[in-house]
Each structure stands twice: as C-alpha cells, then as structure tokens.
Amino acid sequence: MPNNANGLEALTRTTTDRTRCVNAENPQGGKGRAAMTASQLGPSRKGTPCLKNIPSGQDVILADLSGAGEIRHIWMTVTDATSPTGPNVLRNLILECYWDGEQTPSVSVPLGDFFCCGHAQACRVESVPVAVYPRRGFNCFWPMPFHNGARIVLRNRHNEPIEAFFYQIDYVEKDELPEDVMTFHAQWRRQRVTELGQDYVILDGVHGRGSYVGTYLALTALESRWWGEGEVKVYLDGDKDYPTWCSTGSEDYFGGAWSFAGQDPDGRMHEATYSGAYMGFPFHSRQLDNRESQYWDADTPVTRGFYRWHIPDPIIFASDIKVTLQQIGVDEQGYFERQDDLASVAYWYQQEPHQPFPQKVLETGERDRRPR
C-alpha cells in the first residue's frame, strides 16, 4: 500500500512530496494560484466556490494532473434533488477516474454509491476510507497513486442541470513512484431483478496482480422474510467451481450477526444500523426522500446499504479474481432462493493495465440507475 497508509508515524518523517489541491478556486492545482477570483467582497474573497449550472449531458473535468503523485483526500457535495421531477441526482452524476493516460476508466461509479450512499439517498457514514457527514459532505481517503498523470471526470446524466457542485481534491506531487505501486479501481454493477438460483456478480473479469479492498452493497428487498443467508464468495487465481474465500452469510460478511436483530420498546424486532471503521450498515428505509406525493403512496420496498472494507485483511490475488453474492433467504419453511434488486461497488488495487469494465454506467439508461 502507499506510504501514507502506514500510520501516524509517517507524519514525523521528512518528505519531498509537494502538497497541492484542486477545486473551483484552483482548477489547475497551481502553486500560489488558489483563491484568486473576486467576489462582491473584493479580490480573493470566495470568488469561485463551486461549479455552476452544469447542463444535463455535459462532462466536466474536475482534475487533470500531470507527472507522478497521489490523491490523498476527496471531498464533494451536491444537492440530492434538483426539483420534484429530478430526485435522483446521486445516481445520475457519474464519477470516473483515469490513471496514467489510460483510455478506459479505472473508476466508474454513480457519485452516491461511490460514497456508500446508494438508492440516490444520502446517509451518515463513519468509516476509515469513506465518511459522509451532515449534510451530504462526501469524503474519500482511499490512496490513489498515479505514475504520470490523473484525470477525474464528473459526467452529468441527470435529467436536469446541476445548479452548484462543490469539490476539493487534495493530492501530493512526487518525483516518482516505484514501478510496482498499484492503482485504485472501483466498479459499479446492478441487477434490478437477480436471477433465481444464480449468484449476483460483484466483480469479475479482473486480470493481473492486486488486492481486493472493499464492497458496498445497496439492496432493495423484493420478497419478504429474511434476505441475508447468502454467502459472499471470492474466487482467486484460477478457481472454477468453488471459491477459496467465503463468508457464512450476508450480515456476517458486513460484521453483524443474527439478522442485525434489535427490539423496539414494544418488543417488535427491527434491524439495528451501525457505522464502524471497517464495516457498516448505515442505511435502512421503507420510504425514500424526495418522493412525497398527495396522489399516491410513497412507500417503497425495504432498502438497505452496507459496506465492508478489507483494509486490515486485503484479499490478495496474483492473476485474477471474481466476487459474488448468493441470493438466499430464510422463512418458516427454511432456506429459499430469492430474487432482489442489488447494486454494488467493488473497490480494489491492481497493477495496470486493467480490463475494460463490462457494465458501463454511462451506457445504462436512467431507469437502470433509478432506485425503486
């Protein structure tokens, strides 16, 4: 892992790294070039705090960096709805990252899902690499090294313009990086209805050497009773019929147990949410925000969001990896095969080149991103 992941003791050591940042106040990240524009308060008084009026269908380059370096922190915020007819901003803004001049992205994920806020719904997240604080303050601390350049693009596939988008990308310039330093990847997938008896694929088609470091899952239950008996399975380095690594159930994989069961004061069971350093269940809802109506019922199927970071325990692969999730539930008659609506983000590091992603977010229609 990059040096900044070694702990607090790294802060005591001298370095030749050079601190830089990119935002609307310093779009090129130049030394001594931030906060130059004027406002009604005068020169250099918060003249350009954000990107304004991004049209539907437009792509915006947030950062175009040259040379070697490493992104250390990303912060972003945006409204979650533009009007009553545009409630899905967090699913319709697509974040893409390209390292070292590559033509296909290493990161391609809807903005909300990247920050563990699926279903186009913001929630509070308090983990090591991803944190979301009131109100929609999206933070990412995944180290993102690049050998000779980085380009970060925001693609507006929302049905309406985005009035204001705020962001900051904190990074360091480096003289060089060791050749074996791996780059960061994140891939989004979704099945609106999973196939009966077929494992949902979180990640596949990865070739090369690397480390699998995290999973985010946005689950919409389409059937009643308990949904989470399915195991997460990881096929490594030529595994075919059976994986090398597996969990013992879905809630087990995300760090909980026994259906996350808690009890209300009246004795009724509820699922207890939580947000921890490496595992979390921060979102549970039966009704999505910005869907209120005086004409129809705004209730939805139960939606949930989970994350699991393999930071102390990365899953190492030498040549290939595939990650899947079984769709198995349980009711009064025992286990049964389920069909639900699943969306996921896989996070990993690998040596380039990477294989192009099979499910391109930009090629999915708005319906394919739309929450239930």
**Do residues 157 and 59 make contact, with C-beta atoms less than 8 angstroms apart?**
no
151-197 per-position pLDDT tens digit: 999 999 999 999 999 999 999 999 999 999 999 999 999 999 999 99
Q: What pLDDT score was predicted for residue 6? A: 57
The model carries a pTM of 0.94
Look at residue 5 and tell me whether its pLDDT is greater than 50.
no
Q: How far is Cα 369 from Cα 192, in angstroms, rounded to an integer? A: 9
The C-alpha angle with vertex 257 and arms to 253 and 258, in degrees rounded to 5, equals 135
Pairing of strands 245-246, 59-66: unpaired
Q: How many helices (H) and strands (E) does the chain have?
A: 4, 27
Residue ranges, CATH 2.60.120.1390, the chain: 12-181, 182-361
CATH architecture of 12-181: Sandwich (2.60)
SS3 category, 260: helix
Distance, in Å, from the CA atom of 182 to the CA atom of 322, rounded to the nearest integer, reads 18
Tokens (6 digits) for 136: 């929609």
Q: What pLDDT shows up at residue 364?
A: 79
Model pLDDT for residues 280-309, shown as the tens digit of each residue: 999 999 988 888 878 888 888 999 999 999
CB 346 within 8 A of CB 196: no
The correct answer on CATH 2.60.120.1390 for the domain covering 182-361 is yes
Neighbours of 279 (CB within 10 A): 16
